[in-house]
Amino acid sequence: MQVKVLGCSGGIGGNMRTTALLLDDDVLIDAGTGVGDLSLEALLKIDHIFVTHTHIDHIGFIPLLLDTVMGLRENPVTVHATCEVIDILKQHIFNWLVWPDFSKIPNSAFPFLIYNEIKVGESVQINQKTITALPASHVVPAVGYLVDSGFGSLVFTGDTAGGEGFWQAVNQVNNLKYLIIETAFSNAEAHLAMLSKHLCPDTLAIELSHLQSAPQIFITHLKPGEDSTIMQEIAANSATKHCIALRNQQVLEL
């Protein structure tokens, strides 16, 4: 299985793209601006979208993707998310005010969009991929995801300040190959990171102290203009010096 990074930045500008991971060619985890770089042919192959949380940098291209492909494909796209996330999408995005309600177009019996509610700890199997929702702590309802190919696993934290439940789940994974964890702010902005429930390099080191295995660790969600400073601070800490920045268009094999 391949995981292609369509976007991993905490903002836009130049070649920066916000969060989206493509699993093989049919599943997205989040749908930030990186989805816009896909061809129409590639967009048509996406059948499932797993949402970590509803901040716009993670969901902004779900409406545009649906609007682009729905007249060109027979089957609906399934959005997998917790009930809280689904409620926010229904109330604030697909509400006819911001965007049409594709769960009722062309009609409720045969919609372009269907929702699948998942709970923390539950798994969904799609082809050879098993995707499990993990607990996460953020300023809005959120989850992370465990992706297991049967040969290796990847954990994506989403936007999270970690937490005991998250690390308990991660430490039970016996084939963990990759951990993608966000660090959005520099240490100089530690207070802002705390308020927004993001990480800075110092709190990243604290979170990673709970990790009991040795996956390759990638840092995501770096703020444009601060990315070099953040990575320098990460490299300067003996507990995190082995972490490397995730890159747009990077491909990870599971």
Between CA 91 and CA 100, with CA 94 as vertex, the angle to 5 degrees is: 140
Whole-number Cα distances in Å, 240 to 203, 232, 234, 243, 247: 10, 10, 6, 6, 18
pLDDT (tens place) for every residue of the chain, 254 residues total: 999 999 999 999 999 999 999 999 999 999 999 999 999 999 999 999 999 999 999 999 999 999 999 989 999 999 999 999 999 999 999 999 999 999 999 999 999 999 999 999 999 999 999 999 999 999 999 999 999 999 999 999 999 878 889 999 999 999 999 999 999 999 999 999 999 999 999 999 999 999 999 999 999 999 999 999 999 999 999 999 999 999 999 999 99
Which amino acid does the sequence have at 105? I
The amino acid that residue 123 corresponds to is S
Q: Using alpha carbons, select from 53, 66, 51 the residue that is nearest to residue 98.
A: 66
Report DSSP letters for 173-236, one per residue: -TTEEEEEEE--S-GGGHHHHHHHT---HHHHHHHHTT--S--EEEEE-BPTTTHHHHHHHHHH
Taking the whole predicted model, whether its pTM rises above 0.95 is answered as: yes
Dist CA 77 CA 217 (whole Å) = 31
User: What domains sit in the chain, N to C, each tagged with a CATH number?
Assistant: 2-253 (3.60.15.10)
Q: Give the dihedral of Cα atoms 10, 12, 15, 21; nearest 10 deg.
A: 50
The single-letter code of the amino acid at 87 is D
